[in-house]
Amino acid sequence: MQQRFARSITARIAIIFLIVGSLVSSTAAAQGDATPLPSGTPTGGATPVGGATPVADGGASGPVDLDVLFIGAHPDDEAGGLSTYGQWNEANDAQVGVITVTRGEGGGNAVGTEEGPALGLLREDEERRAVGLAGVEHIYNLDKVDFYYTVSAPLTEATWGYDDTLERVVRVIRTTRPEVITTMNPSPTPGNHGHHQLAARLAVDAFYAAADETRFPDQLSNEGLSTWDVGKIVRSGGAGEGEPGPDCATTYVPADPTDVVYGVWAGNTSQANGGRTWADIEREAQRTYASQGWAAFPDAETDPAEITCDYFTLIDSRVPLSTNPESTTAVLENAVVEIPRGLPLGSQLYLTTDSFDVQAGEPFTVTSHMQIPGDVDTSEAFVTLIAPTGWEVVGAAEAEAAAAAGEEEATPVVTATEDGELTQEFTIIPAADAEVNTRYTI
C-alpha cells in the first residue's frame, strides 16, 4: 500500500437517502475484446428478411463487442428507444444489442392465426426488421416462456426461474461486454407488466453479477469468459413531467429531484436516411410490429415543437456522470464517449457507504473509489465531495481549504491498492434539522 496526495476531482456521483435510503454511485468499465459466444448461449435463429431494409443478424457473426445492451422481456419492448439507439449508432458508431427474454409467443396476433412457437417466430422476424432500422444488428433470445399478461413479478419469476435466467443474461453480458445497459422499469407501478418488471430486475442484478467472480464461476472456468464491469445502467422512461420540442431534455422535471433523467430528442435528423427525423424512422420501426396491432399507429409528429424526447433514468453507474445532461450522448459519456476535460475511457469513479440508513445529525462514512488507466499520472489526484447545505464533510473538502491556508497536515490522504485503485474516506454528518424520508445528493 502507498499514499499519494492529490489534485481535486469533484465527485457528483451519489444519491443518499436520509433515514430510509441508499447511496448510488459511479465508475467506468475497462474496455477489452469480446469473446465468441459459448456453446449454448441463446441467440436468434430466424432467417433475416432480404431486400433493402436493414435487418438484425439472425446467424452467427463471430465475436461481438457491444457498446449498449438493451434488456427486455418481449420482442417490441425496445421499440420506444429506437430513435435514440439509431442516433447513437449513426453519430457515434455505437454498437447496440438487444436481449429478449422470451420470443413473445404468448402475446396477441393482429395479423393471422399463428400462436405459440409460430407466433414467436413471426414476432422475432418483426423485431429483427424493426431494430435494423436503428442499426441494431444483434438480438439474443433467452427462450423463457411468454405467458399471459400479469402484473406479478413473483409469478413471472416462478415461471422463468430466476437463477437460470440471470445466468443467461450474465453470460451475454460477459460475452458481448457492453459499456451501457438500458432496460425497463423494475418497479411494480400500476399496470407495469410483471414480465417487464422482472426483466429489468434481472438487468440490474446482472449489472453487478457480471463483475463478480463468485457469481456463475463456471462461465469463467469452463467457458473462457471473464468478469465484466458495465459502466452504467439506465431504465427507459422517467417519473416526472417535460415539454416536447428541441429543449425537452432540459425542461424535464423529475418527480424526485434527486433522479438523474436524460433526454434524447427524436427530432434530430438522419443523414443516412435522407434527412428524415428519428421520430419518423422510429414510427416506421414500430409499425413493423404488426402482430401487436402497431401497424395502425399514426404518423409521427412533423412539427419540431411537438416532437418529444426518449427519456432514460439512471439506476447506477461506475463511471462519472455527464455534466452535460442535455447532450444526445449524455447516457454514453464517460462510458462510450470521452468528453473534454473528463477522465479517460476505462476510468472508474464511485462511492460506497457503511450505512444504508442515514439519520439527521448522525455521522456515517463514505469511501470514494477511483481507478484510472495506468498511463495516466494520478500522483496528484483526489476527490472532493459536495454535500447539501448544512451538512459537514470531514475529509478532502476541509483538507483542501486547510492546505490553502498553509496547514499542510490537513492534506488529504489517498490510498492506492495493489490493483491501482485510489480510495479516500470521508465522514459525513447530516444537518441536525435535515428533513426525514427525503433523498439527498452528494
- CA-CA distances (angstroms) from residue 360 to 20, 257, 366, 425, 430? 11, 19, 16, 20, 5
- Note whether residue 222 is domain-resident: yes
- Please tell me the distance from the alpha carbon of residue 168 to that of residue 99, in angstroms, as a whole number: 10
Same domain, yes or no: 154 and 252? yes
Same domain, yes or no: 156 and 284? yes
- Note whether residue 342 is domain-resident: no
The predicted structure's pLDDT at residue 399? 55
207 DSSP assignment: H
240 DSSP assignment: E
Same domain, yes or no: 264 and 186? yes
* CATH number for position 90: 3.40.50.10320
The predicted structure's pLDDT at residue 2? 35
- Note whether residue 45 is domain-resident: no
- Note whether residue 38 is domain-resident: no
The predicted structure's pLDDT at residue 62? 67
Q: For cell 429543449, name the residue.
A: 247
- Note whether residue 435 is domain-resident: yes
Q: Is 142 exposed, middle or buried (0-12, 13-18, 19+ CB in 10 A)?
A: buried
Same domain, yes or no: 309 and 426? no
Sign, CA dihedral 331-337-341-346, equals: positive
- Note whether residue 43 is domain-resident: no
All residues at 6 or more sequence positions from 23 whose CB lies less than 8 Å from its CB, including other chains: 14, 15, 16, 351, 352, 353, 366, 442
- Please tell me the distance from the alpha carbon of residue 96 to that of residue 87, in angstroms, as a whole number: 11
- Please tell me the distance from the alpha carbon of residue 113 to that of residue 390, in angstroms, as a whole number: 65
All residues at 6 or more sequence positions from 402 whose CB lies less than 8 Å from its CB, including other chains: 409, 410, 411
pLDDT in tens, the chain (442 residues): 333 323 444 433 443 333 333 333 332 223 233 333 333 344 433 333 333 445 666 554 568 999 999 999 999 999 999 999 999 999 999 999 999 999 999 999 999 999 999 999 999 999 999 999 999 999 999 999 999 999 999 999 999 999 999 999 999 999 999 999 999 999 999 999 999 999 999 999 999 999 999 999 999 999 999 999 999 999 999 999 999 999 999 999 999 988 999 999 999 999 999 999 999 999 999 999 999 999 999 999 999 999 999 999 999 999 998 878 789 999 999 999 998 888 899 999 999 888 877 889 999 999 999 998 877 888 778 888 888 899 988 875 455 556 566 665 556 678 888 788 889 989 899 999 988 888 888 8
Q: Is 246 exposed, middle or buried (0-12, 13-18, 19+ CB in 10 A)?
A: middle
Same domain, yes or no: 82 and 218? yes
The closest alpha carbon to 385, from 442, 441, 319, belongs to: 442
407 DSSP assignment: -
Range of the domain at 431: 2-27+347-441
- Note whether residue 396 is domain-resident: yes
What is the Rg, in whole angstroms, of the alpha carbon atoms belonging to the chain? 23
Same domain, yes or no: 254 and 357? no
Residue 396, Cβ neighbours under 10 Å: how many?
A: 27
Same domain, yes or no: 206 and 287? yes
Kindly state the cell numbers that stand for 338. 470521452
For residue 398, the one-letter residue type is: E
The predicted structure's pLDDT at residue 9? 42
For residue 384, the one-letter residue type is: T
b/e per residue 195-206 (b: at least 16 CB within 10 A)? bbbbbbbbbbbb
Same domain, yes or no: 401 and 299? no
Phi, psi values for residue 307, rounded to 5°:
-85, 135
Longest Cα–Cα distance of the chain, Å, equals 80
Same domain, yes or no: 131 and 73? yes
The predicted structure's pLDDT at residue 142? 98
For residue 351, the one-letter residue type is: L
The predicted structure's pLDDT at residue 17? 36
144 with 165: CB under 8 angstroms? yes
Q: How many CA atoms does the CB half-sphere of 39 hold within 13 Å? A: 1
Give kind and range of the element (H or E) at residue 8.
strand 7-11
Kindly state the cell numbers that stand for 208. 453487478
Instruction: Kindly give the pairing relationship between strand 269-270 and strand 276-277.
Output: antiparallel
The closest alpha carbon to 348, from 333, 369, 325, belongs to: 369
Phi, psi values for residue 101, rounded to 5°:
-65, -40
Phi, psi values for residue 169, rounded to 5°:
-65, -45
The predicted structure's pLDDT at residue 12? 38
- Note whether residue 323 is domain-resident: no
178 with 230: CB under 8 angstroms? yes
Same domain, yes or no: 167 and 81? yes
Number of domains in the chain: 2
Same domain, yes or no: 296 and 363? no
The predicted structure's pLDDT at residue 396? 54
Same domain, yes or no: 10 and 99? no
